[in-house]
Structure 1
């Protein structure tokens, strides 16, 4: 087997980075509509004055919302058609995540894992829930602005509050996602999100179940 193993396909990397950029811009433009920047940004860096314009931030918000919707539908269709469901949570993932984190802290050998660690599958479910929530409430916020559509004040209030809550959940998820790289073992996954490849030794050590599956697939090809 080669010294490098393909962990993240080009499709996965595109989905990851397009989603990340879209969500980041949605957060930035969303705060701009409150409007926070015009009130509290005393010193404005060059090229950021557009953040104080409600019209511009709203327009940009819609653009990146459309990009995020497109990449979500592409992601779901791509993996559904290919029947690739490795990232979906499994029974026992919560307990297994605790055991892996405990092993990293105590510097002990980790339990054998598949292509994705249990905590990665749980993180995926968390982001899926938060993003679905922000998308649904965001669509509601757009519909209520359509001329001729009458929505009660209570629904408008609840829609806005849930949209803000979903945004906070996503921000919290991003913080936890980045904090995971405080553990040295997790940093070896970073190359996979840029080049797609990770070291063979890393896979053998941390994703031994997946590694044996790959070995089996190579043996079938050779035979």
Structure 2
């Protein structure tokens, strides 16, 4: 007798995954090409590595930087408009998230009891806020850096100096944010969330165990039924929200 396939619940809609991966790829390209503008790659002989010569070409890196910036701006705009149009704010920060994040991290490290969680953990909402504000800083300062090249637009040297400094700070912050985002998956408790950003779905049992508030909401709204879908089919949850972090 064959064992039934694990049941799945849809956690990340196609729109969420589009925003997540467009943002991720854009940020990665922005970091790589942005460092090339310093220019670090030539200074430290990175361009001498096989296939890395293009990293030292200013015109290639600047054009790719603009392309990545456009991708990030589009993803951010789509994300905000989509969230407010559909009134889906599950990933948006809430009061008490910092305290609850501490309790969750402490529980994971000490094998204690975590507080009941909604669709997103409090720590994920805090990470979303940190990365979101860092990206906003990069977008605003990046637009100013672009506008200064437009004929007829003249900014003071002081403004350009501080704008460049803030842009560099934003770059450092987003690098730390990405590292922290990826480091979260070193913890075993978070790893079942990874498939959600590829297929959109995660384990029914995982949701029931760790996202008890969301699970109860799905049951209450009639979006899932514990007695159904034993054949492993996906539960198409209508509670879809955005995510630049898993």
TM-score (norm 1): 0.95
Runs of 5+ unmatched residues, structure 1: none
**1:105 partnered with 2:109:** yes
Alpha-carbon distance between aligned partners in 1 of 2:209 and 2:45, rounded to the nearest angstrom: 48
Match of 1:47 among 31, 48, 51: 51
**1:57 partnered with 2:61:** yes
- Size of the alignment, in residue pairs? 220
User: Residue deviations 1:152-192, cap 9 Å, x none?
Assistant: 11111101000000010000001111111111000110010
Structure 1 residues 220, 182: CA separation in 2 closer, same or farther (over 3 Å shift)?
Answer: closer
Aligned partner of residue 222 in structure 2, secondary structure: helix
Higher helix residue share: 1
Q: What is residue 89 of structure 1 aligned with on the other side?
A: 93
**1:131 partnered with 2:129:** no
Runs of 5+ unmatched residues, structure 2: 1-5, 226-246
**1:115 partnered with 2:141:** no
1:197-216 counterparts in 2 under 5 A?
A: 197-216=201-220
Asked if the contact 2:47–2:54 (Cα under 8 Å) also holds between the matched residues in 1, the reply is no
TM-score (norm 2): 0.86
Q: What is residue 72 of structure 1 aligned with on the other side?
A: 76
Q: CA deviation at 1:66?
A: 0.7
> Of the two structures, which has the highest relative contact order with CA contacts closer than 8 Å and spacing of 6 or more?
2
Structure 1 residues 44, 217: CA separation in 2 closer, same or farther (over 3 Å shift)?
Answer: farther
Alpha-carbon distance between aligned partners in 2 of 1:220 and 1:29, rounded to the nearest angstrom: 45
Alpha-carbon distance between aligned partners in 2 of 1:187 and 1:12, rounded to the nearest angstrom: 19
